[in-house]
Chain A
């Protein structure tokens, strides 16, 4: 049993921390992390709750494989009702925080209520207490992390925190841990901020000693690591180029959404690609990329560590940004760059650093800027309203908008609302490239049809990580499908969604799925956890989790019409590239998908489906 079997319940209203035993019956049905925490969440929280009210809860959770030598076994997730979406949210992050929480002896922390004053939670093994955070409020995540480590006199204290974005109600604020790792999407940081909870600091020296069959487990982890090492993507592509390896590939496919999805190819994609990051720049003869980095336990090491160009306009007099820090991942590079038509790598990095420093999601932020730029170009937003000229392609505008959003100043307040609320306010909801109010990531659903269905049916709003069909449609993993057709995508999406639910509930990173199928995960889980974790059981758990999330959303008021894409993707054909002339076939795929899922035309799971899954 790789669970610690301990749940920490933190009542922020009353300032108490209590330990309670993990519900092991649920653990057998929902595994851990995403699945198990969501089970707790939906059992305890009214689906109609206002996400920013004290009645909403927030759960930080590890998986059974977190804190073990399983490759990438360092993940934790934050489950809540998303501030941005109003849907179930589950944001997953790497770094070292998750493993430390597990080492301290906790499977999850359930935060309830709202603190009167800013506080942070300090955990040292079984000792948990809320501490005053008045001196941290108003400070960045970087400052917070550094201050807490110093106060605890322990550089190995791991910290997750919100920055000013989370405090100021930026709707897509994230929770940052280990300086540049984020539980990024859906506004989980906004929820944290609404609770006056600034940070969680944890030190664990107990470790994980509850593996069911250690010998079999070690053998299984070694075998699975070999699979990752031997795979071209996880063994070479990701360590060398990071996720940014995709920039040129996706652009060539005509699937790189550009200028708020007006275009599907970006003429300057190369300038913001992995290749560009590795080249020596003319200004100082150094490359942007310093090295790659791993999260806890990860044998892939896709993380980028970059050094910004000290002479770039965004940081000339700001040495605090000159050091090595978290670099651009593909989604961020796309959102800050291509989505706005900006091809200035250093400007994107600066905005990216601000996102990490003050804790907001670069995908949602970048895409919101794209919407604002389109509104500006259409004359709906003026220079005066925004406070600057903001045409597509303006690197300066991206940098300044990032600053004003971080600080919650001027037009930054509106940008902080996300593109759905922004476009709604200015009378053009059609220009918001979102599903369930959450901004799209970096794949155009006209050129990669499966991603359209992925976005539309993702339980947490538009998201690539709920069923990354890019793997199949672009990279041929586990088998190649044609990205331009809709046939077979409903089944593909369902299969990916269910499998991903299992990976997200185990404590590992979804990037392992470039090389691992459930069959690679299963022996590791089974050796670690009590309960005979067969392939069949895992498949069922995955489907159960997906349906449970769906039920919550339905009860929260979401319907089939929320499983849809913006009109642009359904009516404005791709202008260039292999998908030229195509629109998204979402309306064709959705009914088939519902049917495969055992849902009615309204997207409501049928009695049989629920019965079959024990829901």
Chain B
């Protein structure tokens, strides 16, 4: 059996390892489109930026012989097209790789801002190790950085930029930081925190054009304001890396559409990770939850099925934990709540603490927190298992800080 996996990220590598566990004899090849020294975790990039780790610290696995020991072939090269009829993958360099089972795990690619000057040399995004290297190379204390975007990635790299002494301006089109992960009040608190730590936060504005200005850049905003910059960072979100699949016949909406077994519409072809669009376990809708734990779990399920098993994915759950200059925030599931559902919001601006819980009938469906780090995992537990809360729903509405007690009382009666 020939397993071919496109993409050497969290999903691709997890699937390869799982396949090896299930099928000692199979041939397993992972196509690595970036050609780095070893497969790495994008998630570790913020810590490389802040100099907490060296490049090797981003590697997905510690042991240099890991892949050899497991007989997983890491093949450098980029896929250009998939030919499902011939069961072949064509590479950019012209090579052709056959497969019996194919897993597409190509992750996301950063969205491109459509503004003049986006291809100038001082303009970067922050998605790959190569991007990180380029940023680090041009960052000095006092370097003026204009960053467009304050989504998850935009926020989590602020620490790295500031720790290297950047003079940082963050532009936010919507005016709200991490608006896809946090309710307005919580967004505001994070923005306030950043401002207090010396970041220039500019809401409700965006870049109109970028121009070269001697050795630096001139960033003109839609408001007409002009900002001088040494580096322009464009972090305006990501989209699934599926362009190379056009015309392959693989069904795609936002991402690759998969069923609970991670199968695409075509036999023998699976998808997992940021690239896959699957059922969300709280909303029940097909959507992309582009986060690491999801990528890993989907990859595990995909591999189980590729190896001939029958395993269902319970659905993805949006869970995020973000560290913005030391302020830790989390969001889980349907943190926005649902119409008619009960909810409670505890706001302590002075101490940068925030907690919001959102309920369905008798269950927790979503949560957001700032400044809470102990036992937050149980929020996931309560949401994902739809644990009936009974009397604890009222208690949580009265005092959301008792979520750990609620969890123990409702889920750990055995304890």
Tell me the bound Cα distance from A190 to B351 in angstroms.
34
- Tell which of B346, B353, B401, B402 has the most Cβ of chain A within 10 Å: B401
B residues 367-415 in Cβ contact with A at 8 Å: 399, 401-402, 405
CA A150 to CA B395, docked complex, whole Å: 13
* B74-110 with Cβ < 8 A to chain A: none
Contact of A155 among B353, B355, B402 (CB under 8 A): B402
Q: Mark A129-168, 1 if CB is under 8 A from B, else 0.
A: 0000000000000000000001001110000000000000
- For A150, A153, A154, A155, the residue with the greatest tally of chain B CB atoms inside 10 Å of its CB is A153
Query: Using Cβ atoms and an 8 Å threshold, which residues of chain A touch B348?
Result: 153
Number of interchain pairs (Cβ within 8 Å)? 12
In the complex formed, the residue of B with least CB distance to A150 is: B399
**Chain B residue, CB-CB nearest to A154:** B401
Q: Are B346 and A153 in contact (CB under 8 A)?
A: yes
Enumerate chain B residues within 8 angstroms of A150, measured Cβ to Cβ: 399, 401
The residues of B that contact A155 with a CB separation of less than 8 Å are: 401-402, 405
User: In the complex, how many residues of chain A place their beta carbon closer than 8 angstroms to a beta carbon of chain B?
Assistant: 4
Instruction: Tell me the minimal C-beta distance from B40 to chain A in angstroms.
Output: 35
Give the nearest-CB partner of A146 in chain B. Answer: B399
Asked whether, in the complex, the Cβ of A153 is within 8 Å of the Cβ of B353, the reply is yes
- For the complex formed, measure the closest distance between the CB of A122 and the CB atoms of chain B, giving whole angstroms: 12
Interface residues of B (CB under 8 A from A): 346, 348, 351, 353, 355, 399, 401-402, 405
Known: A153-B346, A154-B401, A155-B402. 9 other contacts (CB 8 A): A150-B399, A150-B401, A153-B348, A153-B351, A153-B353, A153-B355, A153-B401, A155-B401, A155-B405
CA of A155 to CA of B353, assembled, Å? 15
Instruction: Specify which chain A residues have a CB less than 8 angstroms from the CB of B405 in the assembled complex.
Output: 155
7 contacts between A and B (CB under 8 A): A150-B399, A150-B401, A153-B351, A153-B355, A153-B401, A155-B401, A155-B402
Q: Roughly how many angstroms separate A154 CA and B351 CA in the complex, as a whole number?
A: 13
CB contacts (< 8 Å) of A153 on chain B: these are: 346, 348, 351, 353, 355, 401
Contacts of B353 in A (CB 8 A): 153
- B376 to chain A: closest CB distance in Å? 14
A405 and B348 CA atoms in complex are apart in Å by 38
> B367 → chain A, closest Cβ, in Å?
15
Q: Which residues of chain A from 518 to 567 have a CB within 8 Å of any chain B CB?
A: none
With both chains docked as a complex, state the minimum distance between the C-beta of A291 and any C-beta of chain B, in angstroms.
15
State the CA gap A154–B353 with chains docked (Å): 11
1/0 per residue, CB under 8 A from B, across A564-575: the answer is 000000000000
A-B complex: 4 closest residue pairs judged by Cβ atoms: A153-B401, A153-B353, A150-B399, A153-B348
Q: What CA separation (Å) do A407 and B216 show in the bound complex?
A: 75
Q: Which chain A positions have C-beta within 8 A of B346?
A: 153
A149 and chain B: residue at smallest CB distance? B401
**B402 contacts across to A, CB distance below 8 A:** 155
State the CA gap A421–B391 with chains docked (Å).
49
Q: Which residue of A lies closest to B346 (CB)?
A: A153
- A153: min CB distance to chain B, Å: 5
Of all chain A residues, which has the CB nearest B402? A155
How far does the Cβ of B186 sit from chain A's closest Cβ, in whole Å?
15
How far is the CB of B295 from the nearest CB of chain A, in Å?
34
Q: Write out the residue numbers on chain B whose beta carbons fall within 8 Å of the beta carbon of A154.
A: 401
Report Cα–Cα, A155/B404, bound state, in Å: 11
Shortest CB–CB separation between residue A151 and chain B, in angstroms?
9
Question: Closest Cβ of chain B: how far from A313's Cβ, in Å?
Answer: 28
Closest chain A residue to B405, Cβ basis: A155
Q: In chain A between 145 and 199, which residues have their CB closer than 8 angstroms to a CB of chain B? A: 150, 153-155
Report how far A150 CA is from B402 CA in the complex, Å: 10
CA distance A523 to B353 in the complex (A): 45
A151 to B, closest residue via Cβ: B348
- The answer for the CA separation of A153 and B352 in the assembled complex, in Å, is 12
Name the residue of chain B whose CB is nearest to the CB of A153. Answer: B401
- List the A residue with the shortest CB-CB distance to B355: A153
With both chains docked as a complex, state the minimum distance between the C-beta of A264 and any C-beta of chain B, in angstroms.
48
Nearest A residue (CB) for B398 = A150
A150–B401 CA distance with the chains assembled, in angstroms: 8
Report the minimum CB–CB distance from A138 to chain B (whole Å). Answer: 22
Measured between alpha carbons, how far is A154 from B355 in the docked complex, in Å?
A: 13
Docked complex Cα distance between A154 and B402 (Å): 9
A147: shortest Cβ distance to chain B, in Å? 11
Give the nearest-CB partner of B404 in chain A. A155
Q: Give the shortest distance, in Å, between B407 (CB) and chain A (any CB).
A: 14
Give the distance in Å from the alpha carbon of A154 to the alpha carbon of B399 in the complex. Answer: 11
Closest A residue to B351 by beta carbon equals A153
Q: How far is the CA of A153 from the CA of B350 in the complex (A)?
A: 13
Minimum C-beta distance from A213 to chain B (A): 33
Closest residue of A by beta carbon distance from B401: A153
Distance from B401 Cβ to chain A, minimum over Cβ atoms (Å) = 5
Q: How far is the CB of A79 from chain B (nearest CB, A)?
A: 34
Q: How far is the CB of B290 from chain A (nearest CB, A)?
A: 32
B400 nearest in chain A by CB position: A153
B401 partner residues in chain A, CB cutoff 8 A = 150, 153-155
Smallest Cβ distance from B219 to chain A, in angstroms? 41
Instruction: Give complex CA distance A154, B346 in Å.
Output: 13
| Residues of chain A contacted by B399 (CB below 8 angstroms) | 150
Chain A residue at smallest Cβ distance from B353: A153
A530 to B401, CA, bound (A): 42
Q: Which residues of chain A from 489 to 511 have any CB-CB distance to chain B below 8 Å in the complex?
A: none
CA distance A563 to B401 in the complex (A): 53
Q: How far is the CA of A528 from the CA of B402 in the complex (A)?
A: 37
Q: Give A155 to B395 CA distance when docked, in angstroms.
A: 14
CA distance A364 to B351 in the complex (A): 43
A153 vs B353: C-alpha distance when bound (angstroms): 9
Q: Across the interface, name the chain B residue whose C-beta is closest to A152.
A: B351
Q: Nearest A residue to B399 by beta-carbon distance?
A: A150
Closest chain-A Cβ to B115's Cβ sits at a distance in Å of 43
| Complexed CA–CA distance, A352 and B103 (Å) | 69
Min C-beta distance of B128 to chain A, whole Å: 39
B314 to chain A, nearest CB (A): 32
Q: Complex Cα distance A154/B371, Å?
A: 12
- How far apart sit A150 and B346, CA to CA, in the bound complex (Å)? 11
Residues in chain A near residue B351, CB distance under 8 A? 153
How many whole Å from B2's CB to the nearest CB in chain A? 55
A458 and B405 alpha carbons, distance in the complex (Å):
45
In the complex, what distance in Å separates the CA atom of A358 from the CA atom of B245? Answer: 73
CA distance A153 to B402 in the complex (A): 9
Q: Smallest CB–CB gap between B20 and chain A, Å? A: 44
Closest CB of chain B to A142's CB: distance in Å?
15
Chain B proximity of A211: nearest CB distance (Å): 27
